[in-house]
Each structure stands twice: as structure tokens, then as C-alpha cells.
Amino acid sequence: MSTLEEDLSQLNFEYLMLARESVRSNALEAAWRFGLNQKQLSVMETLTVEKMRALAGNSRAIIRLLPLKTPQHMAPSVHSALLMSELDNAEDV
């Protein structure tokens, strides 16, 4: 494996670790910070270290850079839906 591939693999792995821990601590914030939908959140939460290493070593960048300002056509519906489900879950407790 070349140095570039090794560096990319390491960067991917660290990104996945950060995203997984963020999802586990606060899913709503993780959705906003990483641009994840509800299905992606549930997958991220259950990733094992072995699976993350396998995903990280695919020789492609996993990181997705999001714009600093949300375009007008992208309503915060995903985040609103996640917030509503979080509130529903909190009421059940």
C-alpha cells in the first residue's frame, strides 16, 4: 500500500471513529455535523472497529464536506424529523 493510500485509510478510520462516537453520544448533533440521515445514523452506531477498518481501507475518501451555509432549497426536514423522534422517545421514558 502506498503512503497516500495509508494516509487516506488512516484519515477515513479516524473520521469513522469520530462519527460513530458522535452518533452514540448525540445522534441529532451527529446528523447535523456529519450530514447523516436516520438510516446512516443507525448503521454508524453499530459499526465495529473491524468493520470501520475495512471501510476505511477502500482507497476512497469517506469524508463528505458540507457547505458552511445550508442552501435555501435544503429544508431542515431531516433534522426536524430526527428532533421529533428524539422528543417522542424522551416522552416514553
Q: For the segment 26-84, what is each residue's pLDDT rounded down to a tens digit? A: 999 999 888 888 999 999 999 999 999 999 998 788 887 766 665 555 555 555 555 55
The CATH code for residues 3-92 is 1.10.4000.10
- The residue to which cell 431542515 is assigned: 76
> How many angstroms separate the CA atoms of 49 and 17, rounded?
8
What is the value of pTM for the model shown?
A: 0.67
Q: Which residues contact 38 (CB under 8 A, 6 or more apart)?
A: 31, 78, 81, 82, 85
Residue pair 56/87 in contact by the 8 Å Cβ criterion:
no
Residue pair 30/22 in contact by the 8 Å Cβ criterion:
yes
